[in-house]
Homo-oligomer: A and B are copies of this chain.
Amino acid sequence: MNDAEPVPWLSDDEQRSWRAFVRLHLKLSARLAADLQSHSGLSAADFEVLVALTDVPEGRVRFQDLAKEIDWEQSRLSHQIRRMIKRDLVTREECAEDGRGAYVAISAHGRAVIEAAAPKHVVAVRRLVVDALTPEEFAELGRLSAKLTDRIEREP
């Protein structure tokens, strides 16, 4: 009866905010993924890889570098690229300078697909998020996100 609560549960308001936040991320990622899939036949993972590949002028990058760029584990990338090769979105190229290494290169088909997909994705993001808030609100959302990410990365 004495002693402060050993576990500081969330207040009702906090609970509501937290739930809303979690729910948003579930709904939004599901929705964007579904749009991407139905409009362009791409998964979020496909999309991320293809965007990263178009960001580099040569259209090909070493596995390592790509993994770092998009912050993926190396084996995740390896699995993903295997699947994408089967659909001719990317190709794998040997690396002359390093016998262990390899390049991932975007294919012509992959380029066509991402060029069609990207604008649709942007439109969806705008419609569902950016334009759903005032510019001030959206900026604030960005600021709070950055603040939290910062905290998370500083944590033990």
Contact = CB atoms under 8 A, between A and B. Distances in A.
Name the interface size band of chain A: 35 or more
Interface in A3-31: 6-10, 13-14, 16-18, 20-21, 23-29, 31
**Interface pairs A-B: 10 shortest CB-CB:** A17-B142, A7-B119, A20-B145, A132-B151, A24-B145, A20-B146, A21-B145, A25-B25, A24-B149, A20-B142
A133 B147 CA distance: 8
Contacts of A139: 13, 17
B148 A133 contact: yes
27 contacts: A8-B123, A9-B122, A10-B122, A13-B142, A14-B138, A17-B139, A17-B143, A21-B129, A23-B145, A24-B145, A24-B146, A24-B148, A24-B149, A24-B152, A25-B29, A27-B149, A28-B148, A127-B155, A128-B148, A128-B151, A128-B152, A132-B147, A132-B151, A133-B144, A133-B148, A137-B147, A141-B144
A98 interface: no
Q: Is the interface of A mostly helix, strand, loop or mixed?
A: helix
